């Protein structure tokens, strides 16, 4: 993750441990992902138990980089609002 936004200069690392709260956000995302995927695999596709467990583990491993970044993005958006008046150097 960048230390600072290249466009507007916003510091992304506010203080040590700032993104600790993002763990709670990722917990919520993983819960929704697992429950939704479980319902899809078990109820709709009617896969057997080992296929469901394998599918869930594979999905979690594959989506970890996405959920990690999405949770941090969600967390920082709780505290920093978009400011259209802020000077930017990006197009
Ligand atoms: Zn920016």
Burial 44-54 (b: 16+ CB within 10 A, else e): eeeeeeeebee
How many whole angstroms from 22 Cα to the centroid of ligand 1?
19
Q: How far apart are CA 66 and CA 72, in angstroms?
A: 10
What range does the domain containing 44 cover?
A: 22-77
Q: How many domains does the chain divide into? A: 1
Which tokens is 66 given? 């996405």
Residue 91 is assigned to a structural domain of this protein: no
Q: In this predicted model, what pLDDT tens digit does every residue of 33-67 receive, in sequence order?
A: 999 999 999 999 999 999 999 999 999 999 999 99
DSSP 20: G
pLDDT at position 81 is: 86
Residue 35 within any structural domain of the chain? yes
- The model's confidence at residue 89, banded by pLDDT at 50, 70 and 90, is confident
Q: Is the pLDDT of residue 88 over 80?
A: no
CA of 5 relative to ligand 1 center, distance in Å: 5
Tokens of 11: 């510091």
> 29 lies in a domain?
yes
Chain-centroid distance, C-alpha 27: 9
Q: How do residues 9-39 score in pLDDT, each as one tens digit?
A: 888 888 999 999 999 999 999 999 999 999 9
């Amino acid at each position: 993750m960048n230390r600072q936004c290249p466009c507007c200069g916003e510091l992304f690392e506010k203080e040590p441990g700032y993104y600790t709260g993002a763990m709670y956000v990722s917990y919520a995302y993983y819960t929704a992902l697992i429950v939704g995927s479980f319902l899809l695999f078990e109820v709709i596709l009617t896969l057997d138990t080992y296929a469901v467990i394998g599918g869930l583990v594979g999905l979690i491993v594959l989506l970890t980089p996405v959920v990690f970044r999405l949770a941090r993005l969600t967390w920082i958006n709780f505290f920093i609002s978009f400011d259209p008046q802020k000077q930017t150097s990006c197009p």
